[in-house]
């Protein structure tokens, strides 16, 4: 399936950095992607056409890095992944880009997260404002 979109399997030689570890060392935004396994081929094509590198971790789950991404590449891909029924969360990137992508991935979970934070930290003393929307 991935071959039709230009993706190739790669197994690093023993004793070398794994592809997943190499992504953390690469420049550019780094994202965790999850989606229904039946849509993986479409994701492969989208990541490759965006100039990214995708490393599958399990069926429907992987990491993508975008060494030469502009400010619109990752949000556009995040919307595409959302339309496939999945999610893309930025693990590394410029703060504004992380805010844009990750707050959109939250969907309607934000009110629930606020209620949980309020229940366990009513005074708001634990890492105030560190998470999305000032949680």
- Per-residue pLDDT band at 122 (split at 50, 70, 90): very high
What are the pLDDT digits (tens) for 81-92?
888 888 888 888
Which residue segment(s) compose the domain that 36 sits in?
Answer: 2-107
Q: Residue 125: exposed, middle, or buried by beta-carbon count in 10 A (0-12, 13-18, 19+)?
A: exposed
Kindly report the CATH number assigned to the domain that includes residue 12. 3.30.70
What are the pLDDT digits (tens) for 15-73?
555 666 666 677 788 888 888 888 888 888 888 888 888 877 777 788 888 887 777 88
The tally of domains found in the chain comes to 1
Q: How many helices and strands (H and E) does the chain possess? A: 5, 4
Strands 61-65 and 87-92: unpaired
- Contact (CB, 8 A) for 50 and 4: no
* 114 found inside a domain: no
* 82 found inside a domain: yes
* 113 found inside a domain: no
* 128 found inside a domain: no
| Residue 33, number of CB atoms within 10 A of its CB | 26
Q: How far apart are CA 121 and CA 107, in angstroms?
A: 23
* 101 found inside a domain: yes
In this predicted model, which residue has the larger pLDDT, 88 or 133? Answer: 88
* 117 found inside a domain: no
b vs e for 83-111, b when ≥16 Cβ sit within 10 Å of the residue's Cβ?
A: ebebbbbbeebeeebbebbbeebbeeeee
* 121 found inside a domain: no
pTM: 0.67
């Amino acid at each position: 399936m991935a071959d039709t979109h230009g993706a190739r399997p790669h197994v690093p030689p023993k004793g070398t950095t794994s592809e997943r570890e190499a992504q953390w060392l690469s420049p550019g935004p780094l994202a965790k992607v999850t989606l229904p396994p039946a849509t993986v081929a479409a994701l492969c094509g989208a990541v490759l056409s965006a100039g990214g590198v995708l490393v599958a971790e399990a069926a429907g789950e992987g990491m993508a890095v975008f060494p030469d991404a502009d400010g619109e590449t990752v949000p556009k891909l995040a919307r595409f992944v959302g339309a496939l029924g999945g999610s893309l969360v930025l693990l590394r990137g410029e703060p504004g880009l992380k805010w844009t992508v990750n707050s959109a991935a939250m969907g309607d979970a934000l009110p629930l997260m606020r209620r949980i934070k309020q229940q366990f930290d009513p005074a708001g003393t634990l890492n105030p404002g560190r998470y999305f929307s000032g949680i």
